[in-house]
């Protein structure tokens, strides 16, 4: 079927707006009415593995970095994550009882496919998280987990990212359950947090106008920093990637705690610093990082929930209030500001949002 913009100015805008609906489809395909998480045959025996190696490129790589926190914290499984182009040439040893997990929207990225082939005969099991079920990566895996995002046209990945995250979170929860690493009531809470995601994403998208107003200011900047801590660090990376891909503004992301080890030298009144930080257990640490930025006249854009914004106090340049949400699904909700700030900044600059220069949707060359 031909895919059109359905009244949106760009495919990227359409695909951002589609997220509540496609996430619902993703959930329906994995969540049973009994509250359990079901995987397609032949499934995965998580008691037969001791570690995970995750490999991907671009935005899919950031989905892996986010999932590392989930697999480690919820399922107590050690995780190694690498970009495919490094992994394949490094020839890393693959110990026994390793599950190799490849994430790719297209399922055709040359480096990711080569990394998968490297793992054949070495890893205990090869699993992929893909959007295109007929793709090479899907076909060459022992188990392919579709993300059900539908066709993604915009070169900058949006709905595929949140669907990848959702499948990876369900996989981490399933691993936790099978390995006896999670209490039944905590598991049930996380499953209901997942079920609440589509409505939460709708509320998040409703805040688009606030992000547009901030983006008009960001469009004036030459350099922008993104900061995040813990599971928000990969989201900061994704926010910076999206912004540079489509607005051509130089953007870098750092783990908030690394600010003092170098990037703080860049801060002055010309540098906006986007801080992705819902009020969680690490919020106080992030507030002190923000104060370090503001003391050097850096312009802080705080993306947080109402409680976080209230606590941050005066001196914050721009505030983007996100709906409250359970911590476990925060990275999925906070993908929205990463996407929408980049989108509105690019629109303000008048760039070609759906076909950014020098980039391809799927990179099938090395
Ligand atoms: C290209 C695209 C990115 C994508 C990356 C990985 O660089 O422009 O949006 O994240 O490839 O693609 P994949 O299809 O493997 O997820």
Confidence at residue 168, expressed as pLDDT on a 0 to 100 scale: 98
Question: Residue 358's pLDDT is what?
Answer: 85
* 275 vs 278: CA distance, rounded Å: 9
Q: Which protein residue has the closest C-alpha to ligand 1 atom 7? A: 58
Ligand 1, CB cutoff 6 Å, lining residues: 57-60, 104-106, 109, 112, 155-157, 359, 361-363
Instruction: Choose the residue to mutate in 58, 115, 159, 246 for probing ligand 1, maximizing ligand atoms within 8 Å of C-beta.
Output: 58
Report yes or no on whether pTM surpasses 0.90: yes
Average pLDDT over residues 327-351: 97
The pLDDT of residue 1 is above 70: no
Q: Whose CA is nearest to atom 2 of ligand 1?
A: 361
Q: Percent helix, strand, coil in the chain (nearest 5)? A: 50, 15, 35
Q: Is the pLDDT of residue 2 over 90?
A: no
| Sign of the CA dihedral running 39, 29, 116, 42 | positive
Q: d(Cα 257, Cα 171) in Å, to the nearest integer?
A: 29
List the beta bridge partners of residue 102.
Answer: 55, 128
Q: How many A from CA of 241 to the centre of ligand 1?
A: 11
> How far apart are alpha carbons 71 and 50 in whole angstroms?
11
Is the pLDDT at 363 greater than 90, yes or no?
no
Average pLDDT of the segment spanning 320-333: 97
Tens of pLDDT, residues 200-254: 999 999 999 999 999 999 999 999 999 999 999 999 999 999 999 999 999 999 9
Sign of CA dihedral 126, 130, 136, 139: positive
Please tell me the distance between residue 324's alpha carbon and the centre of ligand 1 in angstroms. Answer: 30
Q: What is the pLDDT of residue 365?
A: 79
Q: What is the pLDDT of residue 239?
A: 98
Residues involved in catalysis: 361
Q: What is the pLDDT of residue 265?
A: 86
Beta strands across the sheet bearing 51-56: 79-83, 51-56, 98-104, 125-130, 143-146
What number does the ligand 1 atom closest to the CA of 157 have?
Answer: 9
172 close to 70: Cβ distance less than 8 angstroms: yes
Q: Whose CA is nearest to atom 8 of ligand 1?
A: 361
Q: How far is the CA of 88 from the centre of ligand 1 (A)?
A: 17
The pLDDT tens digits for 105-146 are 999 999 999 999 999 999 999 999 999 999 999 999 999 999
77-86 pLDDT, tens digit per residue, is 999 999 999 9
Q: How many angstroms is it from 60 CA to the middle of ligand 1?
A: 7
Residue nearest to atom 5 of ligand 1 (CA): 58
Chain mean pLDDT for the chain: 95
pLDDT at 356: 87
């Amino acid at each position: 079927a031909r895919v059109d913009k359905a009244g949106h100015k760009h495919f990227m805008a359409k695909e951002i707006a589609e997220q509540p609906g496609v996430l619902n489809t993703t959930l329906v395909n994995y969540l049973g009415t009994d509250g359990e998480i079901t995987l397609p045959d032949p499934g995965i025996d998580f008691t037969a593995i001791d570690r995970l190696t995750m490999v991907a490129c671009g935005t899919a790589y950031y989905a892996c970095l986010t999932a590392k926190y989930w697999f480690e914290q919820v399922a107590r499984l050690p995780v190694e994550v690498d970009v495919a182009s490094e992994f394949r040439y490094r020839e890393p040893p693959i110990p026994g009882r390793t599950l190799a997990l490849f994430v790719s929207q297209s399922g055709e990225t040359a480096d990711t496919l080569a990394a998968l082939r490297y793992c054949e005969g070495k890893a205990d099991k090869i699993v992929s998280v893909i959007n295109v079920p007929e793709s090479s990566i899907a076909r060459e895996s022992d188990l392919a987990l579709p993300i059900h995002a539908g066709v993604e046209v915009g070169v900058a990945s949006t709905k595929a990212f949140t669907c990848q995250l959702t499948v990876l979170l369900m996989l981490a929860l399933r691993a936790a359950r099978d390995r006896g690493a999670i209490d039944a009531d905590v598991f049930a809470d996380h499953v209901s947090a997942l079920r609440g995601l589509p409505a939460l994403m709708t509320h998040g998208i409703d805040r688009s106008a606030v992000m547009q107003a901030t983006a008009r200011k960001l469009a004036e900047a030459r350099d922008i920093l993104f900061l995040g801590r813990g599971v928000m660090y990969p989201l900061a990376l994704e926010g910076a990637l999206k912004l540079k891909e489509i607005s051509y503004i130089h953007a870098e992301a750092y783990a908030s705690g690394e600010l003092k080890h170098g990037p703080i030298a860049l801060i002055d009144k010309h540098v906006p610093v986007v801080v992705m930080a819902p009020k969680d257990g690490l919020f106080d640490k992030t507030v002190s990082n923000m104060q370090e930025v503001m003391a050097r006249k850096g312009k802080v854009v705080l993306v947080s929930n109402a409680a976080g914004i209230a606590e941050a106090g005066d001196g914050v340049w721009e505030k983007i209030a996100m709906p409250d949400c359970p911590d476990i699904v925060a990275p999925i909700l906070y993908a929205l500001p990463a996407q929408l700030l980049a989108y509105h900044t690019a629109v303000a600059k008048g760039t070609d949002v759906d076909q950014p220069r020098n980039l391809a949707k799927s990179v099938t060359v090395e």
